[in-house]
Amino acid sequence: MKITEKWLNKKNACADGKNWVLENYPDTDGTELVENLIRAQKLDWANWLIVRIMARPQYLAYAIFAAEQVIDFFENKYPHDRRPWLAIDAAKKSLADDTSRNSAAAGDAMAARAAARAAGGAAWAVAETAGAAWAVAGTAGAAGDVIKIKILKYGTGLLKKIREIE
């Protein structure tokens, strides 16, 4: 997928990110752009982009992987709260068999995640969105960048697999 100025405008990219992309990599492939953003240490921009170019199955796999990378942060603070794992399991079921029943179960799990988040905690329950896991990785300081890069590289691998099939 080509990332153009028109595409960036349609997706409401921030002005700084859009200008950086247009100055450095105008009209480029999305996967290549994510890789370039990683090299430039613009990890938040890379995550913003990757979740907007993924199809639903890729996004679910990415979110599951991201959540699993940061689950320890939550478990250390809330060792008896199983809601993140319930949400991850529901997302895995939805990924394996994307039926309305499994999607509803994933939605229920997301309601549990929202409840856990509302209950407090810096490393809240993570699951369906990579954004939540991304925020948790951001609370990890320098180690967080390592986690973010690992998550992004997994995501670019997902994008490359689909591109090879097409």
Query: pLDDT per residue over 8-46, tens digit each?
Result: 999 999 999 999 999 999 889 999 999 999 999 998 899
The model's pTM: 0.74
Q: Are residues 81 and 155 in the same domain?
A: yes
Sign of the torsion formed by the C-alpha atoms of 134, 137, 139 and 144:
negative
Same domain for 106 and 137, yes or no, is yes
Assess whether 49 and 61 both reside in one domain: no
Going 93 to 95 to 97 to 99, the CA torsion angle's sign is: positive
Structural domain span for residue 126: 56-165
24 shares its domain with 35: yes
Residues 80 and 131 in one domain: yes
pLDDT of 118 reads: 38
Question: Are 61 and 23 members of one domain?
Answer: no
CA separation for the pair 52, 50 (Å, rounded): 5
Half-sphere exposure of residue 131, counting CA atoms within 13 Å on the CB side?
Answer: 6
Q: What's residue 36's pLDDT?
A: 96
Mean pLDDT in consecutive groups of 10 residues from the start of the chain, 166 residues: 94 96 93 96 92 87 84 80 80 76 56 42 36 60 76 93 61
- What is the total count of domains within the chain? 2
